[in-house]
Amino acid sequence: MLAVTALAAAVCGVTVSPAATAAVHIGARAGTATAIPGFLIQSSSQVSDDAAVSRPGFSTTGWYPVTARSTVYAGLLRNGEYPDPFYSTRMRDVPKSRFQVPWWYRADLSLDSTDQRTYLDFSGVLSKADVWLNGTRIATRDDVNGAYTRHELDVTAQVHQGVNSVAFKVYPNDPNKDLSMGWIDWAQTPPDQNMGIVRDVLVRRGGPVALRGAHVVTRLNSALSHVDLTVKADVRNDSAGAVSTVVSGTVAGRAISQTVSLAAREKKTVTFGAVGVDDPNVWWPAGMGAQPLYDLDLGAAVDGTASDASHTRFGVRTVTAKLNSSGGRSYTINGRPLLVKGGGWSPDLFLRWNATYASDKLKYVKDLGLNTVRLEGHIEPDEFFDLADRYGVLTLPGWECCDKWEGQVNGDENGDEWTAADYPIAKASMTAEAERLRNHPSVISFLIGSDFAPDATIEKNYLDALSAADWPVPVVPAASASSSPQLGDSGMKMNGPYDWIPPNYWYDKAHEDGGGAWSFNSETSAGPDIPTMDTLNRMMSPTELNTLWSNYSAAQYHRSQSSTFGNIKLFGDALTGRYGRPSNLTDFVRKAQLAQYENVRAEFESHNRDFTDGSDPSTGLIYWMLNSGWTSLHWQLFDYYLDQNGAYYGAKKAGEPLHIQYSYDNRSVVVVNQNHAAASGLTAVVKLYNLDGTEKFTQTRTGLSVGGDGAKATALTIPSVSGLSTTYLAKLVLTDASGREVSRNVYWLSTKSDVLDWDSSDWYYTPTTAYADLKGLSGMAQVSVGTTATSVNGADGTTTTTVTLRNTSSGKVPAFYLDVHVVGAGGAPVLPIQWNDNAVSLWPGESTTLTAKYRTADLNGSAPSVRVAGWNTGTQTVGVR
């Protein structure tokens, strides 16, 4: 388990599984698939004879060892060729010329025998390659083309007992010309444009009959009391003679068997009779139920000898995504309504896979109270979806915008038009991803378009591929408000915003081109998400940090390669207009955290509230984005190092299962219940305070009831209150029938409203002509906070730290926005970490207990301390008992 500094190294490929330099042992047992654990790479400019590279004994002196999944630049980073690319502008200084020629990936394979057939099985080449084996080219870049196409090369005739050599000559990747992966406006593009191999290359062994594509078609009844399981598999005779094979195994523990006759080189899709299971273990998203999985195990035998074997896991669930009466796409799962709440997923900028890191990010999704991640391109490897299945995190994979994927229909966006050769590559990509993802219950749709829907020809190819793969969940034509000839309207919108707008924006329903809380918004946020000071110091130089707060118009390398999002001017101007001009970097960062908290909270709360509206309900929200693949200043609920800022805690607060919230549009106080069961006997208390702590309004609503599955109930509407300071605080508390506090929510509000100029809206924001006045916060009186902390080490390798905070002041002023970090050696935050709550406010005499859970190893051998930073309390660090 990794400390935070080691985590960064691991993601950089430094401490991930070592690259292989010796020959990889390939056993002879039928049905095995061995992943090549690593390669040696070198520029083609250093190679004079292509055929020689793949001959055993070829000298690789000076070649670079890399892991099994590595782009060229990631491999060079691993070998220390370049410094940390996530700091300052170091990556910008890397010469691109080195990556404008092909690069070789080479490995040696040691075969026990040639008694079995041998195959190379791979996808994830960015974006094309020649494949060589033992001095012979066995596939060309015309054959191996496209990041998602899957290839199985029968190399039985080319291999021999002992050492064999395989080599991939990988050609430069260009997302505008190739059906691969690009970075659009998310981040700066790596200098190699991610050329390389980013999924496993498998060496398969088997007998005359190969077993491929085993999957289960599930038919779950509406009562969830019975499911029919229909198993299908492709059975292929790769020998020169006819064979009879017995395909047998178990599905959900029930035996199945079938005898299949195959002519020479013949392939058949075998369908087994439906297996009925009563009272099945149904798979649910996190927060709605459990995530049980079933097993499918099959084997093929010829004359009683094993020829091949297959194992996969699957879940039982039913997903629908119909258009509602307002035209929005409304999801259900297992018959229950589902408000899709999530964020846009980003892999590591260099496409390095680290299972621990991916697991940590998915655990954050659950901690935030979200249920979904959208993968616009960058569709992760199999282990990612295994994790999503296990954790109950829903996924929305699909093709990406703004490059070759939409080149045929993309209007003014980037991406070359398709040639005749692109259509079969795109269809093969769809086939490969459909077959790979169909068994995963976490996958609830595939978006075959992003900014644009495909034309008739492309759509038909995609749908034919999906149908042939028994694709089990809805297909959506686009993430935007588009339509395609067969599928019709998408039921989604992509109206932005993508840059700063005020919190009240999210409650708008009057503007059909706006991003307010109605319909299914596939990507949207208020843009910049400034990290914590800990992370900023890791990613930017002192000069860059000074520019960040003092010159909002300056270009920011760590924001985006897009000129539209090249600086933080909209955000910075709003920060100054609403909170007052920052006096230094620390003041800028702390004000940014407040701004991000209130904005992200309002975004999610507005959609939660409007989910059950009778007209134009909010049916889905994808925050743009969940995370960033590098050290970024925008579009992230948590940063690259997994630190949690105001955006994180604003989303987490809105994600409470039973939640009390304030409405910026009509001043109503609403209780939203995301639990399945209804809640009753609730009491809502609302108090308004001036910043000196004077209470100006209080109202209590008792006997409140609210239904389940996202239902809401209005507790009260706050009337006009006289005597409020220009900036004031609202404290909302919800207790259950026993008096236990179940939700607490504190807002900082103004008697002056943010005013939007809707008529001047652009695709990425709506201008604000007048700002709410929150400057009074800077004048809040200082108060004292008492802090105690204890830790307990668990048997599972984790530590739980419990922190008790108490406002010990004798006056009336609250301790505002208390942010707590567990820190280790040198005061570095311990990450990842999960708190039950954070960024809290306490009135005099109030106390709260916060708990944090993290890996003990991430302390790196040091004793934990707790750092508490409050808006008006100063910063203190206390030891942990």
Q: What residues act catalytically? A: 451, 523
Query: What amino acid occupies position 675?
Result: N
CB distance 815 to 783 below 8 Å:
yes
Question: Is 770 in contact with 756 (CB distance < 8 Å)?
Answer: no
Tell which residue, 431, 440, 436, has the closest CA to residue 462.
431
Give yes or no for a contact between 96 and 188, defined as CB atoms under 8 angstroms apart: no
Helix axes 585-610, 646-654, angle to 10 degrees: 20
Residue linked to tokens 């006759």: 261
The HSE-up count of residue 539 (CA atoms within 13 Å, CB side) is 22
Residue with structure tokens 């949690």?
644
Q: How far apart are CA 516 and CA 504, in angstroms?
A: 9
Distance CA 565, CA 188 (A): 11
| Residue 664: both structure tokens together | 């910026």
**How far does Cα 164 stand from its chain's mean position?**
39
Pairing assessment for the beta strands 103-111 and 24-26 based on DSSP bridges: parallel
- In angstroms, the CA 696 to CA 751 distance is 13
Question: How many CB atoms are located within 10 Å of the residue 652 CB?
Answer: 26
Characterize 284-307 residue by residue with b for buried, 16 or more Cβ atoms within 10 angstroms of its Cβ, and e for exposed. bbbebbebebbebebbbbbeeeeb
Element (H, E) at 526: none
Contact 494, 451 (CB under 8 A): yes
Give the sheet arrangement for strand 847-855, strand by strand: 785-793, 798-807, 847-855, 834-835
Q: How many CB atoms neighbour CB 419 within 10 A?
A: 11
DSSP symbol at 127: S
**Alpha carbons 48 and 30: distance in angstroms, whole number:** 38
- Angle of the 456-468 helix axis to the 422-437 helix axis, nearest 10: 30
User: 547 CB contacts (<8 Å, ≥6 apart)?
Assistant: 554
Cis peptide preceding 127, ω within 30 of 0: yes
Which amino acid belongs to residue 10?
A
- Cα angle vertex 346, ends 318, 389, to 5°? 30
Q: At 65, phi and psi to the nearest 5?
A: -75, 135
3-state secondary structure of 743: strand
Q: How far is CA 307 from CA 158, 255, 808, in A?
A: 20, 19, 74
Q: How many other CB atoms are found less than 10 A from the CB of residue 765?
A: 21
Q: What are the CB-based long-range contacts (under 8 Å, 24+) for 609-615?
A: 609/517, 609/661, 609/663, 609/670, 609/672, 609/712, 610/509, 610/517, 610/518, 611/337, 611/339, 611/672, 611/710, 611/712, 612/710, 612/711, 612/712, 613/518, 615/325, 615/326
User: How many residues does this entry show for the chain?
Assistant: 881
Token look-up 């909302």 returns 732
Q: Is residue 207 within 8 Å of 262, Cβ to Cβ?
A: no
Q: How many CA atoms lie within 13 A of 25 on its CB side?
A: 3
The radius of gyration of the chain's CA atoms, rounded to the nearest angstrom, is: 28
Is residue 280 within 8 Å of residue 334, measured between CB atoms?
Answer: no
214-124-565 Cα angle (round to 5): 125
